[in-house]
Structure 1
Amino acid sequence: MYPPGDPRNNLATAARDPSGSSATPASYGLYYKDKPTDDDANGKSWYTRGQDLLVNYIEAKPGATFSRTNQLDEYMIVLIDEDTPYEVSAQHGVNGPETRTGPGYQVVIVPPGDSKITLPKGGRLARLFSTQSDDLNAKCANAETYAVHDPNIPEFKRWPDPVDGFKLRVYDLWKERVPGKMGPIWRCTTIMLNFPPPGGGPRDITKMSPHSHADFDQCSFVVAGSFLHNMRWPWGVDKNYWYPDQYPITEAPSATFIPAKVIHSSESLHSSNNRMADIFAPPRLDFSLLEGWIQNADEYPLPEGVTMPVKEPA
């Protein structure tokens, strides 16, 4: 790549990436050692954000209630563990006020408007939001990192409304991995969650998967074990942002936000129990275009003008 105005930009071999590398650093929520944003009768609560995604990790006390009033858009709640009973209610779904209960180990999609979740026994959960709510953004310990919009990432645009209207939706997490299958992955209008079942021991380092995302960042949310995040910032024209390779190890619970364009591959380290979710906002189109990858694809349309690839006859 060459600086703007350099005549070598006209070469056929010149990189066509106008933004070059990323000046955005990785950002972390190390909930196992960071001071919580809130520590009160409901429990402990941390807030960490990326460009378009916000993670609210909670260690709830018995009887805790967490509410949203006039929430602008859909959000997800992840009940991370089994035996985490809950009651969730929403006031402004397509069918009016509604309430759902569950045993835990589930994903809940919550419609815009007023909503709340109560946990009679307490437990671990995460609320996943877009960064369209200023009150939530202000709670984030790393808010300053995103005071300036990452130029590699376009302005946030939520996906089309669900085919049957906004309402509470509940999905069970998987307890075992399916050979040869990603996920499970769910999406709503704002978020995509890829939350595999618990894994085994350390990753085989002869089978790493270094890759990058041109125009979106990624949150790697660790809920069990520990992970090494291998990250490399490609060189752009501004040497001020030629960051050295980084190899942070994060334990559970934690969230690591990996910027757009950064080459990365994470590896599990714990001897027996590792679990990490990958979260994106808005949903990833490339995942969504793969048949069978998204568990609730029939509930949420693709963006306007986008259709699933036509399968060739066998």
Structure 2
Amino acid sequence: MYDKSDPRASLAPKASAGTIAQTGLVAEQQEGYFYASAPLISDATGMTWMHRGHNFLVAYTEAQPGAMFERVAQADEYAVLLPQAGAVITWGGTHEDVPGNSLAFVPPGDSTVTLPGGGVLVRLFSTQNTDLAEACGNARAYDAPRPHIPPFQPWPEPTSGWKIRAYSLDVPSEEGRFGRIFRCTTLMINVLEPFDGPRDPSKMSPHHHDDFEQGSLALNGEFTHYLRWPWTSDMADWREDMAIEMASPSMLVIPPPVIHTTRATAPASNELVDIFSPPRMDFSMKPGWVLNAEDYPMPEDQPAGRDERS
């Protein structure tokens, strides 16, 4: 359910009258309050917090000048988000100087990310990297299987082969396009444009996902996340509505099929990043929405039976 001004309104199909959600799909949201909790890693590189979903995880670091972060035998492609500080990324004998306000994708294998001047570094991985998944503060939250979420399946390899790919986030707004969306083989990342002041409460966007999680990473500002568990025929599935207030930096993982919407509440700038793994087909099928679509092809066939609601 979207306000008519929301670009996602064109994605949402009309719900069938009388439809009852499947039972047994209850899962708890995963809250990571980086600003109010001790870092999982505190050493010469800086302070790092790690928080996971079913298919993805986030490593949020306040890096010291000159800090280097190495991945050896990385299982698959990962993302490097640089909100302000620049970095030098190496892979396969090549290096890329990536300025701040950029998003980069790094191929599998051995690589390093170095921040000469320090600053905030956000790395996003798939949970196929079990060493990182096990290091997350909420790792045990996924010991119980989530059978309603399909097994992770990466998307096709990039059209011109593996290499470091960096994209500026200095992208002008465009009417009808939602956010600043980029995808790789493992992730879809929507770096939403900064929002000044509280969100208009008359223009919210409650919606749900049938079979995939959404990660909401707060980089700046304050947010209230509203969650509603749908009623099924089994009262054991029912939950009270929640309004979760989170400052920044923080990370919330929203499970399906929870109905959710988020309101920015800080009077100044609010910055939020939405994370999905693997990439979303519905967003990918909207012309012009995925800003690097030419680099990363879609699967030839959409997965059967997948309800691509937003």
Scaled by the length of structure 2, what TM-score is found?
Answer: 0.89
> Match of 1:114?
110
> Given the alignment of the two structures, is residue 33 of structure 1 paired with residue 36 of structure 2, yes or no?
yes
Q: May I ask how many residue pairs the two structures share in their alignment?
A: 288
> Match of 2:282?
286
Task: Please report how far the alpha carbon of residue 112 of structure 1 lies from its aligned counterpart in structure 2 after TM superposition.
Answer: 0.3
> Given the alignment of the two structures, is residue 63 of structure 1 paired with residue 88 of structure 2, yes or no?
no
SS in 2 for 1:274: strand
CA distance in 2, matches of 1:265, 1:77: 26
Whether the 8 Å contact between 1:53 and 1:281 is mirrored in structure 2 is yes
Whether the 8 Å contact between 1:211 and 1:265 is mirrored in structure 2 is yes
Task: Please report how far the alpha carbon of residue 28 of structure 1 lies from its aligned counterpart in structure 2 after TM superposition.
Answer: 1.2
CA distance in 2, matches of 1:263, 1:85: 37
Q: Which has the higher mean CA deviation after the structures are superposed, 195-204 or 35-44?
A: 195-204
Distance 1:220 1:56, change over 3 A: same
Alignment gaps of 5+ in structure 1? 1-11, 92-96, 308-314
1:123 paired residue among 119, 133, 139: 119
Whether the 8 Å contact between 1:22 and 1:259 is mirrored in structure 2 is no
> Given the alignment of the two structures, is residue 47 of structure 1 paired with residue 33 of structure 2, yes or no?
no
Whether the 8 Å contact between 1:174 and 1:196 is mirrored in structure 2 is no
Q: Which has the higher mean CA deviation after the structures are superposed, 104-113 or 172-181?
A: 172-181
CA distance in 1, matches of 2:205, 2:23: 22
Whether the 8 Å contact between 1:177 and 1:196 is mirrored in structure 2 is no
> Match of 1:272?
268
Q: CA RMSD in A?
A: 1.8
Task: Please report how far the alpha carbon of residue 196 of structure 1 lies from its aligned counterpart in structure 2 after TM superposition.
Answer: 1.9
> Match of 2:258?
262
Whether the 8 Å contact between 1:176 and 1:198 is mirrored in structure 2 is no
CA distance in 2, matches of 1:157, 1:249: 33
| CA displacement, residues 59-99 of structure 1 (integer Å, 9 cap, x when unaligned) | 10111011110001000000012xx12110012xxxxx210
SS in 2 for 1:22: coil
> Given the alignment of the two structures, is residue 210 of structure 1 paired with residue 213 of structure 2, yes or no?
no
- Give the aligned residue type for 1:33: A
CA distance in 2, matches of 1:114, 1:256: 29
CA distance in 2, matches of 1:143, 1:26: 13
- Give the aligned residue type for 2:83: I
Task: Please report how far the alpha carbon of residue 149 of structure 1 lies from its aligned counterpart in structure 2 after TM superposition.
Answer: 2.4
> Match of 1:310?
none
CA distance in 1, matches of 2:258, 2:143: 20
Whether the 8 Å contact between 2:171 and 2:180 is mirrored in structure 1 is no
| CA displacement, residues 123-174 of structure 1 (integer Å, 9 cap, x when unaligned) | 0011000110110011111111111221221000000111111110000113
Whether the 8 Å contact between 2:177 and 2:288 is mirrored in structure 1 is no
- Give the aligned residue type for 2:62: E
**4+ residue segments displaced more than 6 Å:** none
Whether the 8 Å contact between 1:220 and 1:279 is mirrored in structure 2 is yes
Larger-gyration structure (1/2): 1
- Give the aligned residue type for 1:86: A
| CA displacement, residues 91-127 of structure 1 (integer Å, 9 cap, x when unaligned) | 2xxxxx2100022110010000000101111000110
| CA displacement, residues 162-199 of structure 1 (integer Å, 9 cap, x when unaligned) | 11111100001136644442121000000000002211
Alignment gaps of 5+ in structure 2? 1-15, 304-310
- Kindly, what percent of the aligned residue pairs are identical? 42
CA distance in 2, matches of 1:13, 1:271: 40
Whether the 8 Å contact between 1:41 and 1:64 is mirrored in structure 2 is yes
CA distance in 1, matches of 2:233, 2:140: 24
1:73 paired residue among 72, 76, 83: 76
- Give the aligned residue type for 2:43: D
CA distance in 2, matches of 1:274, 1:177: 16
| Pairing of 1:168-247 with structure 2 (within 5 A) | 168-174=164-170, 177-247=173-243
- Give the aligned residue type for 2:136: C
Task: Please report how far the alpha carbon of residue 21 of structure 1 lies from its aligned counterpart in structure 2 after TM superposition.
Answer: 6.1
> Given the alignment of the two structures, is residue 151 of structure 1 paired with residue 147 of structure 2, yes or no?
yes
